[in-house]
Amino acid sequence: MKRRAQYAVVILGSALCVLAQTEPVADTIVQNAHVWTVDSTLPEVEAVAILGDRIVAVGSNQQVDAWRGPKTHVVDAAGKRLLPGFNDAHVHFTDGGAQLDSVELNDATSAQEFARRIRERAAKTAKGEWLLGGDWDETKWSPAELPTKEMIDAATPDVPVAVNRYDGHMVLANSLALKLAGITAQTANPPGGVIVRDGQGNPTGGLKDAAQDLLFKAVPQLTHDQRRHAIERALGHAASLGVTSVQHMNPEPADVAIYSELLEEGKLTTRIYAAPLITQVDDQLKIGIRRAFGGPYLRIGGVKAYADGSLGSATAYFFEPFSDQPGNRGLLSDEMHPISLMSDRMMRADAAGLQLCTHAIGDAGISAILDIYAEIEKEHGSRDRRWRIEHAQHMAAKDFDRFAQMHVIASVQPYHAIDDGRWAERRIGHDRASRTYAFRTFLDHGVRLALGTDWNVAPLNPMLTLYAATTRATLDGKNPNGWFPKQKLTIKEAIEAYTMGSAYAEFQENEKGSITSGKLADMVLLSDDVLTIDPVKIRDVKVLKTWVGGKLTYTAEAASK
Ligand SMILES: [Zn+2]
């Protein structure tokens, strides 16, 4: 009760003297819950009281009941598990929302099925309108061969097609799309990109990394209404999955503008931290934005950079060649040609107080970024920067210590581990694979983790991420006890990294990330207790209710009955 008395003083000490005789009462009380707070001072409680957008009390049913008034809305959680809302530290939110409406190619299990779905969608697409999205994954086909334009050309004479590989590091174009983009046998590979060619040097339709830009230049930008629609779809999807905060990596400026518009209309139901591309760093520098600038629903002040490509597209940058492609050790991104260009931009961003979030996947790519981070620290001195490496997939053994010394955050996506784990060892061999998605090794070295999905690259559903982090059971069913099982996280570690870890990664650990009195009331009620069930069953757990800032943003049908 002491806690409550203090709170009353804070509230009543303001201009609300009219209330001086009455104690404040909660708007909402959630009781009879199994609450895992992710707050080590009070980890397990039964009930939570919310006033306005904040949590005002956590404790036993009886303790929290003291906040009940005649108008308090009481939710009986019926013994279900309540957690802080999930904070996805790495999403591509607009692409994810758009993907919900576009052609679905990810679960196609053959090249024929892939081609059939494109043919059907093209038949319903207006002449000249681009057919985009897809998220195809050729590793699910047998044989697992990269698709070519010949597979889809006959069915798409009037519809330009640019369907992306699920990792976003490769796109397949049909002949019409290549023509509109002016890509021919004579077009040279751009720095950081590859135009895939046949034996005669003709483009096959596959475009890797920076070569994708040659094509996407020809694709019309989303209109304002299309972009807003995609974001609204994404917000609804996030709420239904208990995702209460997302960190949007490389949004378009227009995305941020729509967040701002939705915020003004009171329709932004997921909290956003947006980190635009470092190539646009001057925009933020000009107005003096610093890290985590903004309010509880919308912040900017990070910059997203790319060091290299992806493992699946064989464009992640390694010290040694791929085991299955002897002549190839991947590509540095176009932003790294030359490396001094990247280092220059990062120096300027850091001098201005912006946060650096850098995509780096191959061991040499990660090392190159750590080199730049070390250079910056030497030039600008040390301070609380919370540099991040996004993905941090394949670590050189020597770099774990450097990661820890510079307090770099590993922003990781466990679902990629169970997905890539199907074939990663073929590509990089056993030794390198043993330091791949090395979540346990990071923790052992004192490196902080932030968890996310990379949606639309992987599903946004946090249950799949928790399942992946705790089981490491690859999607092909071949590693039921875990692929490199030593690297598994416990469920508590995974939840903490997905809530407090992600909040820390956006400088918001005092505002959210745990169910703590005074913090924002962002919470999720689950159908089953993820802390005690067999980890294999975590992927089937459903969200019953989601609260953001004390407001219900999602209620499952069954739960509302
Ligand atoms: Zn990403």
Ligand 1 centroid – CA 515 distance (Å): 28
Contact 58, 50 (CB under 8 A): no
Give per-residue pLDDT as tens, 36-49. 999 999 999 999 99
Residues bordering ligand 1, an ion, CB closer than 5 Å: 454
User: Does pLDDT of 6 surpass 50?
Assistant: no
Residues 49, 27: Cα–Cα separation, whole Å: 8
Ligand 1 centroid – CA 332 distance (Å): 16
Query: What beta strand segments (E) does 310-469 contain?
Result: 355-360, 388-391, 409-412, 449-451
Output the average pLDDT for the chain: 94
Q: What is the pLDDT of residue 16?
A: 47
Q: What is the pLDDT of residue 465?
A: 98
Ligand 1 centroid – CA 487 distance (Å): 22
Contact 84, 512 (CB under 8 A): yes
Q: What is the pLDDT of residue 249?
A: 98
Ligand 1 centroid – CA 113 distance (Å): 27
Ligand 1 centroid – CA 20 distance (Å): 51
User: Does pLDDT of 559 surpass 60?
Assistant: no
Sheet holding 131-136, edge to edge: 103-104, 131-136, 161-165, 170-173, 203-209, 193-197
Burial class (CB in 10 A: 0-12, 13-18, 19+), 11: middle
Ligand 1 centroid – CA 88 distance (Å): 11
Ligand 1 centroid – CA 358 distance (Å): 10
Ligand 1 centroid – CA 421 distance (Å): 18
Give per-residue pLDDT as tens, 543-553. 999 999 999 99
Q: What is the pLDDT of residue 191?
A: 86
Ligand 1 centroid – CA 458 distance (Å): 10
Ligand 1 centroid – CA 221 distance (Å): 20
Ligand 1 centroid – CA 169 distance (Å): 10
Contact 524, 543 (CB under 8 A): yes
Ligand 1 centroid – CA 278 distance (Å): 14
The whole-number average pLDDT for the span 519-541 is 97
Residues 51, 266: Cα–Cα separation, whole Å: 18
Q: What is the pLDDT of residue 13?
A: 44
User: Does pLDDT of 400 surpass 90?
Assistant: yes
Give per-residue pLDDT as tens, 131-179. 999 989 999 998 899 999 999 999 999 999 999 998 888 999 999 999 9
Ligand 1 centroid – CA 516 distance (Å): 30
User: Does pLDDT of 415 surpass 80?
Assistant: yes
Percent with pLDDT over 90 in the chain: 89
The whole-number average pLDDT for the span 479-498 is 98
Ligand 1 centroid – CA 210 distance (Å): 15
Ligand 1 centroid – CA 90 distance (Å): 6
Helices 363-380 and 339-351, packing angle to 10 deg: 40
User: Does pLDDT of 192 surpass 90?
Assistant: no
User: Does pLDDT of 473 surpass 80?
Assistant: yes
User: Does pLDDT of 19 surpass 70?
Assistant: no
Ligand 1 centroid – CA 412 distance (Å): 10
Ligand 1 centroid – CA 219 distance (Å): 21
Ligand 1 centroid – CA 394 distance (Å): 16
Q: What is the pLDDT of residue 166?
A: 87
Helix-then-strand count for the chain, H and E:
20, 26
Q: What is the pLDDT of residue 547?
A: 98
Sheet holding 551-555, edge to edge: 44-45, 34-36, 81-84, 523-526, 543-548, 551-555
Ligand 1 centroid – CA 104 distance (Å): 19
Give per-residue pLDDT as tens, 290-341. 999 999 999 999 999 999 999 999 999 999 999 999 999 999 999 999 999 9
Give per-residue pLDDT as tens, 233-272. 999 999 999 999 999 999 999 999 999 999 999 999 999 9
Q: What is the pLDDT of residue 558?
A: 52
Q: What is the pLDDT of residue 142?
A: 87
Structure tokens at 338: 């030359």
Helix (H) or strand (E) holding 36: strand 34-36
Give per-residue pLDDT as tens, 344-390. 999 999 999 999 999 999 999 999 999 999 999 999 999 999 999 99
